[in-house]
Structure 1
Amino acid sequence: MHASTMLASLATLAIAHLLACASPGPSFIFVAQSAASRSRRAGLLAALGMSAGAAVWAAGALLGLAALFERVAELYRVAQIAGGLYLVYIAYRIAQHAKDPLPAPGSAPPTSDARIFLGAMRVQLANPKVSVFFASIFITVLPREASLAFRLAVLLMVIVDETLWYSFVATVLSTSRARTIYGRFKTAADRITGAFLGLLGFRLVLQGARAVK
């Protein structure tokens, strides 16, 4: 593959992926809520968790996981229902603690770093449509003769894109001004966040259940 073709393909993939990252969804909401309600550290850990989850789906797409989902529809539906149920659980947890006050800046977080990271990663993994998105982009842009080195470069690009975007979100929404604004409307904001994630989760579950029938 010519270097110019490789660079053009990587640039196209990077732009398409960044636009997808920037669109509102459960990943954005989870990182934003973590940063505004806890701390910049929590937001950055959530950003890394999202990056890890995206890397899993991207690697799966590069290895043909989306093709497997297409061939074995039941496997995709199981992943869809399981992911939807997890989003509903996350929504319940956020709504359950909607009235809790914000932790004081610099205080010990009530949730461990590992739980924040793994929670974010699970939110990203909860939606198998992410794998389908990567597969569609890769099929459209990725050259058929792409080498292993190029595919690894694509995977690295996904990780960098995800980390940079969600770190930016975490940094902006963890500022003292953002925390002050969030604190004024925390209960309502958390309930809206929970409702949004819950609806997304129910939608995934219903879509999966209808397809199984």
Structure 2
Amino acid sequence: MLSYLDEFLLIAIAHFFAVASPGPDFAIVLKQSIQQGRNNALWTSAGVGLGIFVHVAYCLLGVALVLANSPELFTILKYVAGAYLAYMGIQALRAKPASGDSNIDTAERVQAESAFIAFKRGFLVNALNPKATLFFMSLFTLVIAPTTPTSVQAIYGIYMALATWAWFSFLSVVLSKQSVRAFFHRAGHWFDRGIGVVLIALAVRVVV
């Protein structure tokens, strides 16, 4: 394994900058942290982390090469992902002002999502993210040597999934603090609408 240390470090650095850059994953974790609270956001983060395995799996199976050489197939993926992001954006744009009850815990009990829905939301956002598809296609076709054993490549994938989960879990804890949520709760519907605009803009960017 030590013989692949240089390759691993290169992958780890590239992955850090990719996961830390603003995108659909960040937008959905931010939204869930403010709207639903820490536990919900942590489940969403777990879904995002599991979504990484989808990209790793098709790269290990060689589907990345098919996508890279099939513009039509990749275009279909872009439109599916764009439609999903646009749907979430439209839902957020329809947010209404909170009732007179300013207690965050009370609002959370009324609007709480199940852990499964939060997990599924994070998983789908990452698995259908063409930005992630492009990143992993580049990583597995250009950075990782063809001679690197499949078992080692799988270890790279496990690391990236765990690192993604850890990063967004950290953001979930920070963004779901009571003081942060209280600030956004006072103007929550405007925040939701702003996130909606961001998600729709991301959908347009994904398609274009």
Distance in 2 between the 1:66 and 1:143 partners?
14
- Deviations along 1:20-69, whole A, 9 cap, x unmatched? 11101111010011011111101100101111112211221232222111
Partner of 2:188: 186
Distance in 2 between the 1:189 and 1:108 partners?
19
The 3 A distance-change label for structure 1 pair 96 and 139 is same
Q: Which moves more between the two structures, 94-103 or 139-148?
A: 94-103
Partner of 1:204: 206
Distance in 1 between the 2:52 and 2:111 partners?
25
Distance in 2 between the 1:146 and 1:100 partners?
54
1:44-55 maps to which residues of 2 (within 5 A)?
A: 44-55=42-53
Partner of 2:2: 4
Partner of 2:134: 132
- Deviations along 1:132-160, whole A, 9 cap, x unmatched? 21121233331221112201101111111
Distance in 2 between the 1:128 and 1:64 partners?
17
Q: Which moves more between the two structures, 167-176 or 147-156?
A: 147-156
Structure 2 alignment gaps of length 5 or more: none
1:195 and 2:197 aligned: yes
Other structure's SS at 1:35 match? helix
Q: Structure 1 runs of 4+ off > 6 angstroms?
A: none
Partner of 1:211: none
1:98 positional shift:
4.7
1:36-185 maps to which residues of 2 (within 5 A)?
A: 36-100=34-98, 103-104=104-105, 107=109, 110-185=112-187
Structure 1 alignment gaps of length 5 or more: 208-213
| Amino acid in the other structure paired with 1:70 | A
Q: Which moves more between the two structures, 137-146 or 85-94?
A: 137-146
TM-score, structure 1 as length reference: 0.88
1:109 positional shift:
5.2
Other structure's SS at 1:157 match? helix
- Deviations along 1:113-149, whole A, 9 cap, x unmatched? 1111111111112222312211212333312211122
Contact 1:18–1:165 (Cα < 8 Å) also in 2: no
The 3 A distance-change label for structure 1 pair 184 and 15 is same
Aligned residues: 204
Distance in 2 between the 1:26 and 1:136 partners?
19
- Quick one: percent identity of the two aligned structures? 27
Contact 2:104–2:182 (Cα < 8 Å) also in 1: no
Distance in 2 between the 1:187 and 1:50 partners?
25
Contact 2:46–2:165 (Cα < 8 Å) also in 1: yes
Distance in 2 between the 1:202 and 1:142 partners?
31
Partner of 2:31: 33
